[in-house]
Structure 1
Amino acid sequence: MSHRRWTSTRLVRRAPLFVITAAVLALTAACGGSTTSGSSQPQGSSAPLTTKSGAPTTSSSTTQAQGEQVTVSDDAAKQLCDMLRPQLSDWRVQGPTLGKISLNASVHEWALRNGGINLKVLGDKEVLDRVTTKSCSDVRDQAISALEIPNLAAGLVG
């Protein structure tokens, strides 16, 4: 009987790890296809397929072409700050590589809780910097320092 209880307890303790692992794998799979097919020019090709103007497109102009900046309520902004704040010390200890994985997981969990706006956030990564600059600039500055990135948008994968 004690063996069964021990196994059950072990599974309960590891459940969050399984959920996070599944989320990271799903995120990796979802982002993996978009990095190669998102280019307007196939790899190894010297001429673009089509161009609307003479200038090449960049990711920032693609975001602007979609035309939607993500708008976030004050409550959602506070929730993001509250999710990031307790992780700052972990990120300092773990280093930037593991910290960025944790940042991605936190941002996607936050986006999911706030209307499932994950894809919108990936399309407008700068929303993280806009929201945190307005609501919790101290948390933003500490996160940028701990993760060794120029801004929070740079830490998001996808």
Structure 2
Amino acid sequence: MNTEQQYDAAIEACKTIFLLKTADYGTAWTVLRPISIVDQLFIKAKRIRTIQETGVQRVGDDIRGEFLGIVNYGVIGLIQWGRPKADFEEYPVEQASGAYDAAALGAKTVMLDKNHDYGEAWRDMSLEGLVDLILVKLLRIRQILANDGRTLISEGVDAGYIDIINYAVFALILNDTK
């Protein structure tokens, strides 16, 4: 498979989990404020890094599952960032699915452009490096949020979420091709 096919397969696996959890829980995530989404992403990335550094895993959820969760929380971040504010509005499953598709397509478009220009450099990266880049993006988003979402020269929160989604998809692809 080529990169686009591998990317689509990874996103499809993530979306399947997203929709199943939406069926179980509804769209409770609509109450999450931007910093809460960043915290959820941070927890997942920090757990992966801790397991990578210690070589010890005490909770049954595997690292692959954490990367799937990072993609899904990144998508939720994009969806929520595009909304006026966090609220308790329940999305019908079809609406949540459509919002997911739009966010994932935006991330894929950026990935295809960057992947072209960078010559698929991610294929030579380590999973550790991808986790560290995710953590860097999260710390940057935290700083942007502390600045009321404003930047002077840098990309915004949405660009950070897109990069996080793409790094996590790359990690899924690399993990699955070992």
Pair member with larger Rg: 1
| More helix per residue | 2
TM-score, structure 2 as length reference: 0.28
TM-score, structure 1 as length reference: 0.30
Which structure would you say has the larger RCO, counting Cα contacts within 8 Å and 6 or more residues apart? Answer: 2
